[in-house]
Every structure is written in structure tokens, then in C-alpha cells.
Structure 1
Amino acid sequence: MNFLAHLHLADLTQTSLAGALAGDFVKGRFDDQPEALKQGIWLHRQVDSHIDGHPLLLQLKSRFPGHYRRTSGILLDMAFDHHLARHWDQYHPLPLPQFCQHTYRILLSDPQLPPQCRPLATHMSQGDWLGNYAHHSGLTRAINGIAQRLSRPQMLLGGEQALAQLEPEILSTFSRLYPQIIDFAHDAARRYPQF
């Protein structure tokens, strides 16, 4: 799961959107962060850990062709955001454009958003990254953007074609797995430990 899903789960569990975004960018220990941010980062990491080892996801990763198997986790994170955006009304009462604008506003005004995440939140808002996941062109842009940050971008470039070949299986897995992830996130948020 990428940005949209993590922010969606934070919204559903009423945990920190800034923490949900920071989960991939605050490295190592984070017990010196404000409490709400800690909970958001912790939930992000719990969800990632839960989904990365899920049998449905492992089975789907094994279906990727050639070298894309090595980057299948990244590709599936983005594909799940794509399918969440395309089927948004099944998972949230607020229309996707309103959710996106609300989320950008909160992120950009939250003083707890770590400094290393501020440029990302600004670019995300200016380019409507979350809303653009609903379109194949937005998915391709996201893949290309991440590929350019890799030491070997060719491992990810063109990944949208591998996703297209597996789209029925990906959608089926997403439809089965995402409701379980929502339940897991609610349970995890309730059992959040105080540091």
C-alpha cells in the first residue's frame, strides 16, 4: 500500500495523517516524536508488516514476470492505491476529490509533519497525487517517479505493463484483502502501546 491507502486507514482509524505519511520517511526509532505522530508511524509500520507477509500477497507477487518479481512489492503498493481510488465509494463516504483536498489541507497545516516530509506533502498536493491514482496515467507517473529514485530504475520502469497483465488477479486480491487490512488497522489502532 502506498500513500492513498495509508492516509485512508489513518482517516478511518482517526490517527495522525502526518504519521501515516511519515511512516516511510522517519527511519529507525521514533519515540522522540509527538504522541499522535508516533501512533501514526507505528500504525503505518504495523500495516506494512502485516500485509508484506500475507499469503494472498505473497501468492500474487509470485505471478509477476521476470525481473518485476523483485519489485513486485512496490508495484503492488501502487496498484492497490490505484484500485482503492477507482473503487473509492466502496471504502469511504466522502468523494475522493474532497478526501484528497481535506487530506492535503491537514498535512500542510500540521506542525507535527516532519520537516523531511513537507516537500513531499507540497508536491503531493500540487500534483494531486492521491486523486491521480484513479487514472492509469497517474499510476504510470507514480511508477516512473519511484523508478527514478532507485539505483537501478530499469527494475521498475514499464511495470505498469506487468500490472496490466495481472490486473484481474490484482483487483481480486485487493477486493479480498483490503477489507481485512481495514479491520487489522482498526484493531492495531486500539492496541497501540504507549511508549
Structure 2
Amino acid sequence: MNYLAHSFLTFTDGQIVGQFLEDFIRNRDRFSFPKDIQDGITLHRAIDTFTDSHPAIHEAKKIFSPLVRLYAGAFVDVSMDYFVANDLQLHSLAEWKAHSLRVYRVLNEHKKWLPENFKLMLKKMEEDDWLYNYREDWGIKFSIKNVLNKAKYLEKDIPVFEAFLENKDALQQCYHDFFPDLLDHAKGVNTLLQLEN
């Protein structure tokens, strides 16, 4: 899952911070954070593990694999954020906007825990409102381009966005087959985390 889904699948402010930190810290550093942030890191990992093993995600990867091989999962993650952002059964547009603003606020309020490279990204994320704009084709195009730019072994002009557009209906079906299961899983993990507190 990508940034929007991870931020949506949280239950406390600290978990929001942990969900975002997971991709920016070394494993051994996770214990240096407050318990609530550690819970977010744990939740992030549980979400990724569940996602990687779900049959619908395996189907979605087949759309991108011919183009990007082992990077297919990264592009599925970005694609799923498009469908999360457009899922009005989860939130109305106004609620998605409020969610995005809350995430930026929480992250800014916890800046002392954020590494410098994340702070730079957060500034861009907030300025361009990445979380809310994942609902737009151009927002996902921007995210796909970012993944391509970061990938060491991929050409930068691979038509991944075109594959997303051509297969949007199939990807949406994968989302509908997958996301309710993920939501239930995240709730279960959170319940276990709260029992540890």
C-alpha cells in the first residue's frame, strides 16, 4: 500500500507517524520511538505483509509485471491509492480532504521524530496535497513517475501510467476484492496492539 492507504489504516496520531516513518528508518531504530509510533511501524509492516500475500494483489501485479518485472508491487501500491481516494463509501470528498489535512498536521506536530529526507518530502507532499490528489489521474501519474525516477534498474519512459489507464477496470476489481479484507486485518492488528498497552 502507498501513503494514503497507510494513513487511512491508522487509529491514533502516533500510528500515523509510525506508518510514514517505516520506509525511512532502519529496523533497529524502531525501538527509539514512543510506543504509539512503534505501533504505527508494526501496523505498516503487517499491512505490507498481508498485501503481498493477497490473491487480488497477485492478479493486479500481472498487469504491470511485463513492463517492470519485480517492481510491479510498487506500482500496484500506487494504483490502490487511486481507488482508496475515490472510495466514497470510506469517506466523502470533504472527509478525504479533512483526512489529508489531519495527516499533514499530525506529521508536522511530530517533526522531531522525522528524518531530514522525510521532512523535505513532507513539505512537497503538503504543498501539492498528494494525499487528496491521489483521486485524480494526474495525481497517480505523478506518483508513478516518482517511482520510475527512484527505481535504479528501470527506464524512465516505461508506459506504466498508460497501463494503469488501460487496465483501470481490472485494477478496480482487484481493489474491491482486496481492500475490505485489508481493513479487517488492520483492525485486528490494532486490537492486538492495544491489548499490549
Partner residue in 1 for 2:110: 110
After TM superposition, give the deviation of residue 47 of structure 1 in Å. Answer: 0.5
Letter in 2 for 1:185: A
Partner residue in 2 for 1:72: 72
After TM superposition, give the deviation of residue 132 of structure 1 in Å. Answer: 1.3
Aligned-residue identity in percent: 23
Partner-residue secondary structure (3-state), 2:150:
coil
After TM superposition, give the deviation of residue 85 of structure 1 in Å. Answer: 0.8
CA contact under 8 A between 2:43 and 2:190: conserved in structure 1?
Answer: yes
Give me the TM-score of the superposition, normalised by structure 1.
0.89
Partner-residue secondary structure (3-state), 1:123:
helix
Structure 2 residue runs without a partner (length 5+): none
After TM superposition, give the deviation of residue 98 of structure 1 in Å. Answer: 1.7
Per-residue CA distance 1:95-140 (angstroms, 9 max, x = gap): 2112111211111112453224222222111111111111111111
Per-residue CA distance 1:20-77 (angstroms, 9 max, x = gap): 1112112223122211110001100110011111122112212435233432111110
Q: Which has the higher helix share?
A: 2
Number of matched pairs:
192
Structure 1 residue runs without a partner (length 5+): none
After TM superposition, give the deviation of residue 90 of structure 1 in Å. Answer: 0.9
Does residue 91 (structure 1) correspond to residue 90 (structure 2)? The answer is: yes
Partner residue in 2 for 1:23: 22
CA contact under 8 A between 2:78 and 2:143: conserved in structure 1?
Answer: yes
CA contact under 8 A between 2:18 and 2:38: conserved in structure 1?
Answer: yes
Seen in structure 2, the aligned counterparts of structure 1 residues 58 and 20 have a Cα distance that, compared at 3 Å, is: same
Seen in structure 2, the aligned counterparts of structure 1 residues 40 and 73 have a Cα distance that, compared at 3 Å, is: same
Name the Cα RMSD after superposition: 2.1
Seen in structure 2, the aligned counterparts of structure 1 residues 187 and 152 have a Cα distance that, compared at 3 Å, is: same
Partner residue in 2 for 1:158: 159
Letter in 1 for 2:61: K
